[in-house]
Amino acid sequence: MTQQPRGPVDSSRTPRFAGFATFARLPRLDEVEHADVAVVGVPFDSGVSYRPGARFGPSAVREASRLLRPYNPGLDVSPFETLQVADAGDIACNPFNIGEAVETLQDAAAAFDSRLVTIGGDHTIALPLLRAVAAKHGPVALLHFDAHLDTWDTYFGAEYTHGTPFRRAVEEGILDTEALSHVGIRGPLYGRRDLEEDRRLGFGILTSRDVMRMGVDEVVDALRQRIGDRPLYISVDIDVLDPAHAPGTGTPEAGGLTSRELLEILRGMAGANLVGADVVEVAPAYDHAEITSIAASHVAYDLVSLLALKEKP
Protein backbone atom coordinates (compact mmCIF):
# COMPACT_ATOMS: atom_id res chain seq x y z
CA MET A 1 0.00 0.00 0.00
CA THR A 2 1.37 3.39 -1.03
CA GLN A 3 1.91 5.73 1.88
CA GLN A 4 -0.11 8.94 1.78
CA PRO A 5 2.16 11.94 1.19
CA ARG A 6 2.73 14.18 4.16
CA GLY A 7 1.51 17.67 3.28
CA PRO A 8 1.82 21.17 4.69
CA VAL A 9 1.15 22.22 8.26
CA ASP A 10 -2.60 22.70 8.80
CA SER A 11 -3.15 26.48 8.89
CA SER A 12 -6.43 26.00 10.77
CA ARG A 13 -4.42 24.66 13.70
CA THR A 14 -1.14 26.56 13.41
CA PRO A 15 -1.27 30.13 12.10
CA ARG A 16 0.62 30.78 8.89
CA PHE A 17 2.95 33.22 10.60
CA ALA A 18 4.05 30.62 13.18
CA GLY A 19 6.42 27.70 12.92
CA PHE A 20 9.35 26.88 10.65
CA ALA A 21 9.50 28.65 7.29
CA THR A 22 9.88 25.66 5.00
CA PHE A 23 8.60 26.08 1.46
CA ALA A 24 4.78 26.14 1.57
CA ARG A 25 5.09 24.89 5.18
CA LEU A 26 5.94 21.44 3.87
CA PRO A 27 7.90 18.85 5.86
CA ARG A 28 11.66 18.88 5.78
CA LEU A 29 13.35 16.17 3.74
CA ASP A 30 14.63 14.50 6.91
CA GLU A 31 11.04 14.19 8.19
CA VAL A 32 9.83 11.92 5.36
CA GLU A 33 10.97 8.54 4.11
CA HIS A 34 11.37 9.77 0.55
CA ALA A 35 10.48 12.75 -1.62
CA ASP A 36 9.25 12.70 -5.21
CA VAL A 37 10.09 16.39 -5.45
CA ALA A 38 12.57 18.30 -3.31
CA VAL A 39 12.49 22.08 -3.07
CA VAL A 40 16.06 23.15 -2.43
CA GLY A 41 17.66 26.54 -1.93
CA VAL A 42 21.01 27.70 -3.27
CA PRO A 43 22.01 30.92 -1.45
CA PHE A 44 24.74 31.90 -3.89
CA ASP A 45 25.22 35.20 -5.73
CA SER A 46 28.94 35.46 -6.42
CA GLY A 47 28.29 35.37 -10.18
CA VAL A 48 26.29 38.61 -10.43
CA SER A 49 27.40 41.50 -12.60
CA TYR A 50 25.43 44.32 -10.97
CA ARG A 51 23.43 44.30 -7.72
CA PRO A 52 24.17 41.49 -5.22
CA GLY A 53 21.71 40.02 -2.73
CA ALA A 54 20.22 36.92 -4.37
CA ARG A 55 21.99 34.80 -1.75
CA PHE A 56 19.08 35.80 0.48
CA GLY A 57 16.50 34.72 -2.10
CA PRO A 58 15.78 31.20 -0.84
CA SER A 59 14.89 32.32 2.68
CA ALA A 60 12.74 35.20 1.36
CA VAL A 61 10.83 32.94 -1.01
CA ARG A 62 10.23 30.40 1.73
CA GLU A 63 8.88 33.13 4.00
CA ALA A 64 6.60 34.43 1.24
CA SER A 65 5.36 30.88 0.52
CA ARG A 66 3.61 30.64 3.90
CA LEU A 67 0.38 31.79 2.23
CA LEU A 68 0.35 29.08 -0.44
CA ARG A 69 -2.53 26.65 -0.16
CA PRO A 70 -2.64 22.95 -1.07
CA TYR A 71 -5.02 23.10 -4.08
CA ASN A 72 -3.90 24.79 -7.30
CA PRO A 73 -7.05 25.79 -9.22
CA GLY A 74 -5.07 27.11 -12.18
CA LEU A 75 -3.88 23.57 -12.91
CA ASP A 76 -6.65 21.65 -11.11
CA VAL A 77 -4.23 19.67 -8.99
CA SER A 78 -3.41 19.22 -5.32
CA PRO A 79 0.33 18.71 -5.75
CA PHE A 80 1.07 17.81 -2.15
CA GLU A 81 -1.50 15.00 -2.26
CA THR A 82 -0.25 13.64 -5.58
CA LEU A 83 3.44 13.75 -4.70
CA GLN A 84 5.57 13.73 -1.59
CA VAL A 85 7.13 17.16 -1.72
CA ALA A 86 9.67 18.19 0.90
CA ASP A 87 11.95 21.10 1.64
CA ALA A 88 15.54 19.91 1.36
CA GLY A 89 17.08 23.01 2.91
CA ASP A 90 19.98 24.82 1.28
CA ILE A 91 23.03 23.65 -0.63
CA ALA A 92 25.95 25.62 0.76
CA CYS A 93 28.50 26.75 -1.85
CA ASN A 94 31.83 28.52 -1.52
CA PRO A 95 31.03 32.25 -1.97
CA PHE A 96 34.66 33.10 -2.79
CA ASN A 97 35.36 30.52 -5.51
CA ILE A 98 32.81 30.26 -8.32
CA GLY A 99 34.42 27.23 -9.94
CA GLU A 100 34.35 25.30 -6.69
CA ALA A 101 30.78 26.42 -6.02
CA VAL A 102 29.66 25.12 -9.43
CA GLU A 103 31.26 21.74 -8.75
CA THR A 104 29.75 21.55 -5.26
CA LEU A 105 26.27 22.29 -6.56
CA GLN A 106 26.55 19.83 -9.42
CA ASP A 107 27.59 17.02 -7.05
CA ALA A 108 24.87 17.88 -4.55
CA ALA A 109 22.15 18.04 -7.21
CA ALA A 110 23.27 14.74 -8.74
CA ALA A 111 23.01 13.04 -5.34
CA PHE A 112 19.26 13.65 -5.07
CA ASP A 113 16.89 10.85 -6.06
CA SER A 114 14.09 13.43 -6.14
CA ARG A 115 13.29 15.80 -8.95
CA LEU A 116 14.39 19.28 -7.94
CA VAL A 117 12.71 22.65 -7.92
CA THR A 118 15.56 24.96 -7.00
CA ILE A 119 15.32 28.46 -5.54
CA GLY A 120 18.34 30.70 -6.09
CA GLY A 121 20.62 32.36 -5.87
CA ASP A 122 21.85 33.91 -9.11
CA HIS A 123 21.59 32.36 -12.56
CA THR A 124 25.09 30.89 -12.43
CA ILE A 125 23.49 27.95 -10.63
CA ALA A 126 21.55 26.86 -13.72
CA LEU A 127 24.68 25.34 -15.31
CA PRO A 128 25.49 22.77 -12.60
CA LEU A 129 21.79 21.98 -12.23
CA LEU A 130 21.55 21.30 -15.97
CA ARG A 131 24.65 19.14 -15.82
CA ALA A 132 23.06 17.00 -13.11
CA VAL A 133 19.77 16.67 -15.03
CA ALA A 134 21.50 15.85 -18.31
CA ALA A 135 23.53 13.13 -16.60
CA LYS A 136 20.23 11.36 -15.89
CA HIS A 137 18.18 12.23 -18.99
CA GLY A 138 20.66 13.15 -21.70
CA PRO A 139 20.55 16.58 -23.41
CA VAL A 140 17.38 18.37 -22.35
CA ALA A 141 15.08 20.98 -23.85
CA LEU A 142 15.27 24.35 -22.14
CA LEU A 143 12.53 26.89 -21.55
CA HIS A 144 14.25 29.99 -20.24
CA PHE A 145 12.26 32.95 -18.88
CA ASP A 146 14.45 36.03 -18.54
CA ALA A 147 14.94 39.65 -19.51
CA HIS A 148 18.45 38.70 -20.65
CA LEU A 149 19.90 36.09 -22.99
CA ASP A 150 22.48 34.68 -20.53
CA THR A 151 24.44 33.32 -23.49
CA TRP A 152 27.34 35.76 -23.31
CA ASP A 153 30.85 34.33 -23.37
CA THR A 154 32.74 35.85 -20.42
CA TYR A 155 32.71 38.78 -18.01
CA PHE A 156 36.16 40.14 -17.13
CA GLY A 157 37.53 36.85 -18.38
CA ALA A 158 35.29 34.76 -16.09
CA GLU A 159 33.51 31.87 -17.82
CA TYR A 160 31.07 31.12 -14.99
CA THR A 161 28.74 34.03 -14.22
CA HIS A 162 25.02 34.66 -14.17
CA GLY A 163 25.23 35.91 -17.77
CA THR A 164 26.96 32.85 -19.26
CA PRO A 165 25.33 29.59 -18.08
CA PHE A 166 23.48 28.69 -21.25
CA ARG A 167 26.43 29.27 -23.58
CA ARG A 168 28.46 26.91 -21.39
CA ALA A 169 25.58 24.41 -21.39
CA VAL A 170 25.41 24.39 -25.21
CA GLU A 171 29.19 24.08 -25.47
CA GLU A 172 29.11 21.10 -23.10
CA GLY A 173 26.41 19.32 -25.12
CA ILE A 174 23.93 19.08 -22.25
CA LEU A 175 21.13 20.98 -24.04
CA ASP A 176 19.05 19.74 -26.97
CA THR A 177 19.74 22.51 -29.48
CA GLU A 178 16.57 21.69 -31.42
CA ALA A 179 14.44 22.77 -28.45
CA LEU A 180 15.83 25.90 -26.80
CA SER A 181 13.60 28.89 -26.13
CA HIS A 182 14.00 32.23 -24.39
CA VAL A 183 10.83 34.02 -23.28
CA GLY A 184 10.59 37.64 -22.13
CA ILE A 185 13.86 38.95 -23.55
CA ARG A 186 14.02 42.74 -23.69
CA GLY A 187 16.20 45.76 -23.05
CA PRO A 188 19.41 47.06 -24.61
CA LEU A 189 22.16 44.71 -25.76
CA TYR A 190 25.85 45.21 -26.45
CA GLY A 191 25.15 44.93 -30.17
CA ARG A 192 23.34 42.99 -32.92
CA ARG A 193 26.00 40.32 -32.58
CA ASP A 194 24.48 39.24 -29.25
CA LEU A 195 21.36 38.09 -31.09
CA GLU A 196 23.34 36.49 -33.91
CA GLU A 197 25.48 34.54 -31.45
CA ASP A 198 22.42 33.44 -29.51
CA ARG A 199 20.75 32.22 -32.71
CA ARG A 200 23.91 30.34 -33.67
CA LEU A 201 23.76 28.48 -30.36
CA GLY A 202 20.27 27.25 -31.29
CA PHE A 203 17.95 29.48 -29.28
CA GLY A 204 14.61 30.81 -30.39
CA ILE A 205 13.43 34.06 -28.84
CA LEU A 206 9.98 35.25 -27.83
CA THR A 207 10.50 38.78 -26.53
CA SER A 208 8.27 40.51 -24.03
CA ARG A 209 6.82 42.42 -27.00
CA ASP A 210 6.03 39.12 -28.68
CA VAL A 211 4.16 37.95 -25.59
CA MET A 212 2.15 41.18 -25.55
CA ARG A 213 1.29 41.05 -29.27
CA MET A 214 0.76 37.30 -29.63
CA GLY A 215 -0.99 36.60 -26.35
CA VAL A 216 -0.44 33.74 -23.94
CA ASP A 217 -2.23 31.01 -25.92
CA GLU A 218 -0.24 31.59 -29.11
CA VAL A 219 3.02 31.78 -27.14
CA VAL A 220 2.23 28.47 -25.43
CA ASP A 221 1.43 26.82 -28.78
CA ALA A 222 4.75 27.97 -30.23
CA LEU A 223 6.70 26.74 -27.21
CA ARG A 224 4.99 23.35 -27.11
CA GLN A 225 5.68 22.80 -30.81
CA ARG A 226 9.35 23.57 -30.27
CA ILE A 227 9.72 21.45 -27.12
CA GLY A 228 7.58 18.44 -28.09
CA ASP A 229 7.85 15.53 -25.66
CA ARG A 230 11.56 15.97 -24.95
CA PRO A 231 12.79 16.02 -21.34
CA LEU A 232 12.32 19.65 -20.34
CA TYR A 233 14.09 21.91 -17.88
CA ILE A 234 12.47 25.25 -17.01
CA SER A 235 14.63 28.10 -15.71
CA VAL A 236 12.92 31.27 -14.49
CA ASP A 237 14.90 34.41 -13.82
CA ILE A 238 12.44 36.54 -11.86
CA ASP A 239 13.60 39.60 -13.79
CA VAL A 240 11.51 38.29 -16.69
CA LEU A 241 8.78 40.16 -14.84
CA ASP A 242 8.45 43.91 -15.19
CA PRO A 243 9.97 45.82 -12.24
CA ALA A 244 6.40 46.73 -11.25
CA HIS A 245 5.88 43.02 -10.54
CA ALA A 246 9.42 42.15 -9.42
CA PRO A 247 11.47 45.09 -8.13
CA GLY A 248 13.63 42.84 -5.96
CA THR A 249 16.14 41.61 -8.48
CA GLY A 250 19.69 42.44 -9.44
CA THR A 251 19.34 43.59 -13.07
CA PRO A 252 15.81 44.94 -13.64
CA GLU A 253 14.64 45.94 -17.13
CA ALA A 254 11.53 47.95 -18.05
CA GLY A 255 8.82 46.46 -20.24
CA GLY A 256 8.58 42.97 -18.81
CA LEU A 257 5.88 40.34 -18.37
CA THR A 258 3.20 40.56 -15.75
CA SER A 259 3.11 37.89 -13.08
CA ARG A 260 -0.21 36.75 -14.57
CA GLU A 261 1.36 36.25 -18.02
CA LEU A 262 4.27 34.28 -16.58
CA LEU A 263 2.07 31.99 -14.53
CA GLU A 264 -0.32 31.37 -17.43
CA ILE A 265 2.52 30.47 -19.80
CA LEU A 266 3.89 28.07 -17.20
CA ARG A 267 0.45 26.51 -16.79
CA GLY A 268 0.34 26.07 -20.54
CA MET A 269 3.19 23.59 -20.15
CA ALA A 270 0.87 21.12 -18.37
CA GLY A 271 1.64 17.61 -19.57
CA ALA A 272 5.16 18.46 -20.74
CA ASN A 273 7.97 16.08 -19.77
CA LEU A 274 9.33 18.31 -17.04
CA VAL A 275 12.42 16.90 -15.30
CA GLY A 276 13.60 19.88 -13.24
CA ALA A 277 13.27 23.61 -12.74
CA ASP A 278 14.60 26.66 -10.99
CA VAL A 279 13.56 30.19 -10.09
CA VAL A 280 16.45 32.56 -9.49
CA GLU A 281 17.64 36.14 -8.97
CA VAL A 282 15.28 37.10 -6.13
CA ALA A 283 17.15 39.81 -4.20
CA PRO A 284 14.99 40.75 -1.20
CA ALA A 285 17.01 43.85 -0.24
CA TYR A 286 15.38 45.63 -3.21
CA ASP A 287 11.97 43.99 -2.76
CA HIS A 288 9.13 46.31 -1.74
CA ALA A 289 6.46 44.62 0.40
CA GLU A 290 7.77 41.18 -0.66
CA ILE A 291 6.28 41.61 -4.16
CA THR A 292 9.11 39.72 -5.86
CA SER A 293 9.31 36.98 -3.25
CA ILE A 294 5.57 36.42 -3.45
CA ALA A 295 5.72 36.14 -7.24
CA ALA A 296 8.66 33.73 -7.03
CA SER A 297 6.87 31.57 -4.46
CA HIS A 298 3.91 31.20 -6.83
CA VAL A 299 6.25 30.37 -9.72
CA ALA A 300 7.87 27.63 -7.63
CA TYR A 301 4.42 26.37 -6.58
CA ASP A 302 3.28 26.12 -10.20
CA LEU A 303 6.51 24.31 -11.13
CA VAL A 304 5.85 21.75 -8.39
CA SER A 305 2.26 21.50 -9.62
CA LEU A 306 3.44 20.79 -13.19
CA LEU A 307 5.56 17.93 -11.85
CA ALA A 308 2.52 16.65 -9.95
CA LEU A 309 0.42 16.63 -13.10
CA LYS A 310 2.83 14.10 -14.60
CA GLU A 311 1.82 11.71 -11.84
CA LYS A 312 -1.90 12.53 -11.65
CA PRO A 313 -4.09 9.53 -12.56
pTM check: above 0.75? yes
**Mean pLDDT of the 36-56 span:** 98
The residues spanned by each domain of the chain are 23-311
CATH number of 23-311: 3.40.800.10
Work out the angle at residue 307's Cα, subtended by the Cα atoms of residues 28 and 80, and round it to the nearest 5 degrees.
45
* CA-closest candidate to residue 298, choices 66, 125, 107: 66
Looking at every residue in the chain, the average pLDDT score rounds to 96
Q: What is the pLDDT of residue 12?
A: 86
Preceding peptide of 163 cis, ω within 30°: no
pLDDT per residue over 235-259, tens digit each?
999 999 999 999 999 999 999 999 9
Q: In what order do the strands lie in the sheet with 175-185?
A: 85-90, 37-42, 115-120, 274-280, 232-237, 140-145, 175-185, 203-207
- Give yes or no for residue 1 having a pLDDT over 70: no
Cα–Cα dist 132/111, whole Å: 9
pLDDT per residue over 64-117, tens digit each?
999 999 999 999 999 999 999 999 999 999 999 999 999 999 999 999 999 999
Residues in the chain: 313
Q: Answer yes or no: are the C-beta atoms of 47 and 105 closer than 8 Å.
A: no
